Amino acid sequence: MKTRITEMFNIQYPLVCPGMTYVANADLVAATSNAGGLGILAIGHLNPEQTLAEIRKVKSLTSKPFGIGCALIMPGARENLEVALDEKVPVINFSLGSGADVCKRVHEYGGKVIATVVSAKHALSAEKAGVDALLVTGHEAAAHGGSVTSLVLVPAIRQVTNLPIIAAGGFGTGGGLVAALALGADGVAMGTRWAASKESPVHANTKELIVKKEAEDTIYSKNFDSIACRVMTTHNSRKIMSRKFNPVRAMWRACLAAREMNKPLLGILKDVFKMGLEQALTVSFYGAAVLQIRKATLEGNHEQGVQLIGQVQGLVNDVPTVEELTQRVMHEVREALVGLNAQAGK
């Protein structure tokens, strides 16, 4: 199946596994790329040494194109990005920051750059910076989707730019891919669907919950990590999402997270002086949230953890291999197109 996304990244199918924190590890990324899609490695929660090890592990598992995902605003992001650039990773996907320098350096070694955006304004800024494609994240998506649904956001951004679009948020089936193409996208990212695959590092307890939960079983709020975020509905997530973000709570959670993850509290204070209090609090709050994400994702602990999840969880009914899922989605694409052609012929 050829689209501008498959041709740009030299992949077989317009299917992307986005860089989900703790989920998109080397095994899942390589499995996605080997199955004909594009896997994007999550590196935001890693240090530079771990980032290098994961990138090289992907290279040992696949000869196909892959990428890394990086939120530029986060502490340590630039250091991790330097590792990816030194390794000449074929695709760099960035968010939450200016990417002009990133584009320049990636293009120097022949790589491609994807910017994650949630609005037409962000899309135009990314295009001006020189990106090659956009990952357009709608309201239905896990984690930090925008305030506008994919059904409206994708065509709205298509109206203002001709860059290739990867649609994210609400996609997990072949029918969804066909719909995204009709809206003006050139491919889809299916984070929640890949998370519930056999190669995914997500804990078995959490995969079971994804299968059981309905589309309505999510909460969207700023109260988790200070940026509007969608998580799975559980007793713990309801409790956390019911409390508003405030500076005292941000620092307290960051200190608890730092202690549990054996990171020096002095680093938090340095961030305050370097970035300013407001931004440091936002980043600290996000850092504390990462610990809760890990507990739910990798440990299956939903008493203390919080699982980032998209509304498409309501369409997840099993846990196949990445290869099985990829072939199923493409079979569904063919079935959907046959159905549409049949309707058009009436």
pLDDT, residue 59, reads 98
Please determine, for residue 84, whether its predicted confidence score (pLDDT) is greater than 90: yes
pLDDT band for 326, please (50, 70, 90 cuts). Answer: very high
Three-class secondary structure of residue 68 per DSSP: strand
Residues carrying CATH 3.20.20.70, the chain:
4-202
Please report how the helices 265-275 and 277-299 are oriented relative to each other, as an axis angle in degrees rounded to 10: 140
Strands 218-221 and 229-232, bridge-based pairing:
antiparallel
Of 115, 123, 144, which is closest to residue 227 (Cα–Cα)?
144
pLDDT, residue 172, reads 97
Strand partners for 67: 40, 91
pLDDT tens figures, 91-115: 999 998 888 999 999 999 999 999 9
How far, in Å, CA of 271 to CA of 179, rounded?
Answer: 44
Token code pair at residue 227: 């940026």
Please count the CA atoms within 13 angstroms of the CA of 152 that sit on its side-chain side.
7
pLDDT, residue 246, reads 63
* DSSP string covering 198-238: TTS-S-HHHHHHHHH--TT-EEEESTTTSS-EEEE--HHHH
Please report how the helices 100-108 and 120-129 are oriented relative to each other, as an axis angle in degrees rounded to 10: 40
Average confidence score pLDDT of the chain: 90
Using only C-alpha atoms, what is the Rg of the chain? 19
pLDDT, residue 1, reads 87
Q: Which residues lie below 8 Å from residue 210, measured CB to CB, with a gap of 6+?
A: 192, 195, 196, 202, 232, 309, 313, 316
pLDDT tens figures, 35-46: 999 999 999 888
Query: Which amino acid type is present at position 86?
Result: D
pLDDT band for 270, please (50, 70, 90 cuts). Answer: low
How far, in Å, CA of 149 to CA of 249, rounded?
Answer: 30
CB 81 within 8 A of CB 92: yes
pLDDT, residue 77, reads 83
DSSP 117: E
Please determine, for residue 135, whether its predicted confidence score (pLDDT) is greater than 70: yes
Mean pLDDT for 264-278 is: 51
Mean pLDDT for 300-308 is: 95
pLDDT tens figures, 46-80: 889 999 999 999 999 999 999 999 988 777 788 99
- Which of 50-54, 142-146, 162-166, 283-287 shows the lowest per-residue confidence on average (mean pLDDT)? 283-287
Q: Which residues lie below 8 Å from residue 157, measured CB to CB, with a gap of 6+?
A: 117, 119, 120, 123, 134, 136, 165, 184
pLDDT tens figures, 276-298: 555 555 555 566 678 889 999 99
Name the region of 74 (left: φ>0; alpha: ψ -120 to 50; beta: rest).
Answer: beta
pLDDT, residue 254, reads 60
Token code pair at residue 306: 């919080």
Mean pLDDT for 6-32 is: 97
Indicate whether this model's pTM tops 0.85.
Answer: yes
How far, in Å, CA of 148 to CA of 152, rounded?
Answer: 7
- Which of 111-120, 292-301, 337-346 shows the lowest per-residue confidence on average (mean pLDDT)? 337-346
Please determine, for residue 121, whether its predicted confidence score (pLDDT) is greater than 80: yes
The larger pLDDT score, comparing residue 184 to residue 146, is at 184
pLDDT, residue 225, reads 77
Q: Which CATH superfamily is domain 4-202 in?
A: Aldolase class I (3.20.20.70)
pLDDT tens figures, 223-257: 887 788 999 999 999 998 887 766 666 666 666 55
Sign of the CA dihedral running 206, 209, 215, 219:
negative
pLDDT band for 265, please (50, 70, 90 cuts). Answer: very low
Percent of the chain at pLDDT > 90 equals 75
